[in-house]
Amino acid sequence: MSASVDQATQRRRGVGLIAHDPAQSFGGYTLIAPQTAGGCVFLVDIQGTVVHEWQLPVRPGRHAVILPNGNLGYNGSHADSPDLYAPWSMWHGGDFYEVTPAGEVVWRYQDPAHHHDAQWLPNGHLLYAACERVDEGFAQRVPGGTGDPATPLYADVVREVDRSGRLVWDWHAAEHLDPARFPIHPGFGRYHWPLVNGLGTTADGLVLMSLRTTSGVIGVDRASGKVQLHIPPEVVSHQHAPVALDNGHILVFDNGNFRTGSHVAFSRVLEIDPADGKRIAWQYQDETAHLFYSPFMGNAQRLPNGNTHVTESSTGRLFEVTPAGQVVWEYVIPWFAEYPDAAARKTGPGQLNSVFQTFRYAAHQLPWL
C-alpha cells in the first residue's frame, strides 16, 4: 500500500465544501449522521463548518432528524438485533433516541426487528418499517429474485407507536399485497420482500411506502390496508424516500439500479403527480448521467425557496439544485471509516463516508444554536 497516496477514492477527489452560490442557495444548516462515524451526528453550516455535534451511544441504523421542539430524533443500530440475513447488520436500526441539544436522552424506544426508514410524526408517534418471517408456503408464492428458493423469506411490517411505546397501527405486506403483482427483481436475493426502505404520509392520510426489491412506491389506506396509490416500476427504479409535497405531488430519490433501457446506471430526483402515478412533473439528473448515481440509500428534500437538497448517499455527496437544475451548493462528507462489525463490512467494505439521508434546516428551526 502506498504510504503517500490516500487509498479512499472519494476522499482523494475532495471533501468538505465544494461549491456555494449564496445568491441562489437556501442557506441554513445540514444535519449529517454518517454511517461509519460511530454515532457522532454533525450539524454543518452552509460554509461547511461544524457548528454542533452529538455523540450517541450506538452507531446509526439509518439517519437523524431535528424534531419540531429542536431536539434530535436518532435512528440507532440496535446492539441485539438478530442476524436475519447477510446485509441485515448494515441496514437495521431499532434503537431510537430523542436527545436534547445538550445530549440528554429524553425518550427511547426499541424494536430489534426495525430496518431502514422511520418517520417522527407531528403527533409525537413513531412510524417505522420492520419485518417478520413468512411461512414456506407464502414464500413460494413470491416470484423472482435470485438464490435458493428455500432461503427464509422476511416480509415487511409497518408499525406506528405512541410515546408510551404502545402499538397504535400496523400493516403486514403478506396480508395486503398480492405477490404476483410485486415480484422481486432478478438482481436482488430472495430474503426480504418487498423491502420497505422509505416511508412518508400524505395530507389525505395515506402511508407512502417505497418498495426496494420489487421497485415502486405505494400509498396505503390506514383503515383498510389497501393500496390506493401505485407508482410502478416503469416510472421509478429501486428508489428511496417518498415525500409528499405541499402541492400533492410526491418527491422520490430514484436510485436507478437495473434501470430498464439504460446502458449506464444513473440516479435522478423525481417529482411525480400521483393522480395517475406516472406523470413526472419535475426531475433532476446530471447532464452527464452517470456522474450522479447512488446504488443504495439517498433522499431529496424540497426547500422553502423551491430548491431541492439532495443526498447522494453512497459517495457522501450532498448538493442543492434550483428548479432549473442548477447546482448552487455542494458538500462532500469528510468523515471516513469502516463499519465496526465484520458482517456489515462484508456487505459494505472499505473506508466509507456514506449516509442514509441528510436534511437542511433554517435558523429558526434551531433556536438553541
Domain ranges, ordered by start, for the chain: 9-365
- Residues 329 and 21: their CA atoms lie apart, in Å, by 6
Long-range CB pairs of 261-264 (<8 Å, 24+ gap) are: 262/289, 264/289, 264/290
3-state secondary structure of 343: helix
Confidence (pLDDT) at 2: 59
Alpha helices by DSSP H, 4-85: 9-12
- Residues 167 and 118: their CA atoms lie apart, in Å, by 15
Confidence (pLDDT) at 47: 98
321 grid coordinates = 439544485
Confidence (pLDDT) at 232: 97
Residue whose entry in the numeric block shows the C-alpha cell 457522501? 316
Confidence (pLDDT) at 150: 84
At 293-319, the pLDDT tens digits run: 999 999 999 999 999 999 999 999 999
176: enclosing H helix or E strand: helix 173-176
Confidence (pLDDT) at 35: 96
- Residues 19 and 341: their CA atoms lie apart, in Å, by 34
Task: Note whether 156 and 131 are within 8 A (CB).
Answer: yes
pLDDT in tens, the chain (369 residues): 557 899 899 999 999 999 999 999 999 999 999 999 999 999 999 999 999 999 999 999 999 999 999 999 999 999 999 999 999 999 999 999 999 999 999 999 999 999 999 999 999 999 999 999 999 999 999 999 998 888 899 999 999 999 999 999 999 999 999 999 999 999 999 999 999 999 999 999 999 999 999 999 999 999 999 999 999 999 999 999 999 999 999 999 999 999 999 999 999 999 999 998 899 999 999 999 999 999 999 999 999 999 999 999 999 999 999 999 999 999 999 999 999 888 889 888 999 999 999 999 999 999 999
139: enclosing H helix or E strand: helix 136-141
Judged on CB neighbours under 10 Å (0-12, 13-18, 19+), 125 is middle
89: enclosing H helix or E strand: helix 88-91
Confidence (pLDDT) at 208: 98
3-state secondary structure of 281: strand
**CA 111: distance to chain centroid?**
18
The CATH classification number of 9-365 equals: 2.120.10.30
Closest among 234, 266, 231, 225 to 249, alpha carbons compared: 231
Task: Note whether 51 and 368 are within 8 A (CB).
Answer: no
In one letter, which amino acid is 289?
A
Residues with Cβ within 8 Å of residue 49, at least 6 apart in sequence = none
- N residues, the chain: 369
